[in-house]
Amino acid sequence: MPIISRGFHGRRSPSQEKLPPGQYETTGFPVLAAGPTPRVPTDDWELTVVSESGTQHTWDWPALNALPAESPTVDLHCVTKWSKFNTQWQGVSLDVLMADVRTEAEHVLVSSYGGYTTNVPLTDLLDGQAWIVFAYDGHPLAPEHGGPARLLVPHLYLWKSAKWVRRFELRETDEPGFWESAGYHNYGDPWREQRYRGD
Ligand SMILES: Nc1nc2c(c(=O)[nH]1)N[C@H]1C(S)=C(S)[C@@H](COP(=O)(O)O)O[C@H]1N2
Ligand SMILES: [Mo]
């Protein structure tokens, strides 16, 4: 078999460099959800972090908005193979929310209004890798995309970015979420193309 050299195909363009294996770029913003869109008024909205000892930290909407916000610009990668580059968000880093939470746990089960769940290692939510976002492209986050607030953890496939996020449960044992229980990969790194269990 002849070996086709890299030069034969030419250099990868800058946007291809941003594309994980098996993905294509889209400029639209598809809406994907496993169920109906929950409508959560900000008056009723709460976010809770519960540690393995049962200690709870809860933020209501004014409390979330009082925290220092960041404006991350990130690429999104959906397991259905679309990627969207340079999306602009506003939100609070998980580092800020977790600052006062004492835990030895390594696993997090994230759950949403409407019942969706997904699991993420705690280390993947820290060190500037994840946010609770409430604005997209300069506007309040639309309900279809998870408003009033969603998790954004862009270095993993987008199913880990729980829309309508409500609760983070810190756990000593890992507990698969909705898609992870349905045969998707437990971790979901787009650069290692971890789409399904066993990838
Ligand atoms: N609560 C909730 N969050 C969710 C989902 C869902 O069904 N429910 N779908 C996930 C999947 S599979 C993807 S690809 C993204 C889609 O986000 P978008 O609709 O803003 O593009 O949300 C993720 N977060
Ligand atoms: Mo997805």
Give the confidence band of 10 by pLDDT, cuts at 50, 70, 90.
Answer: low
pLDDT of residue 71 exceeding 80, the answer is: yes
Task: Give the tens place of pLDDT for each residue, 165-187.
Answer: 999 999 999 999 999 999 999 99
Check: CB of residue 64 under 8 Å from CB of residue 92: yes
Question: Which of 75, 34, 20 lies closest to 195 in space, CA to CA?
Answer: 20
| 185 C-alpha to ligand 2 centroid (Å) | 12
Beta bridge partner(s), residue 108: 120, 170
The reported pLDDT for the residue numbered 2 is 47
Work out the pLDDT band at 106, boundaries 50, 70, 90.
very high
User: Is 83 in contact with 26 (CB distance < 8 Å)?
Assistant: yes
Distance in Å, CA 159 to ligand 2 centroid: 5
Q: Which two tokens stand for residue 134?
A: 């409430």
Structure token pair of residue 97: 């929310």
pLDDT at residue 4 greater than cutoff 50: no
| Residue located nearest, by CA, to atom 6 of ligand 1 | 33
CA-nearest residue, atom 22 of ligand 1: 159
pLDDT band at 13 (very low <50, low <70, confident <90, very high): confident
Which of 75, 83, 89, 158 for mutating ligand 1's site (highest number of atoms within 8 Å of CB)?
158
Which atom of ligand 1 is nearest to 157's Cα? 14
Lining residues, ligand 1, CB within 6 Å: 29-34, 78, 112, 114, 116, 145-146, 158-159, 161-164
Query: What's the predicted TM-score (pTM) here?
Result: 0.94
Give the ligand 1 atom nearest the CA of 151. 24
- Sheet hosting strand 165-171, strand order edge to edge: 56-60, 46-50, 165-171, 107-112, 117-121
CATH tag, 44-192: 3.90.420.10
Give me the mean pLDDT over the 95-119 stretch: 98
Return the domain boundaries, the chain. Answer: 44-192
Q: How far apart are CA 45 and CA 125, in angstroms?
A: 21
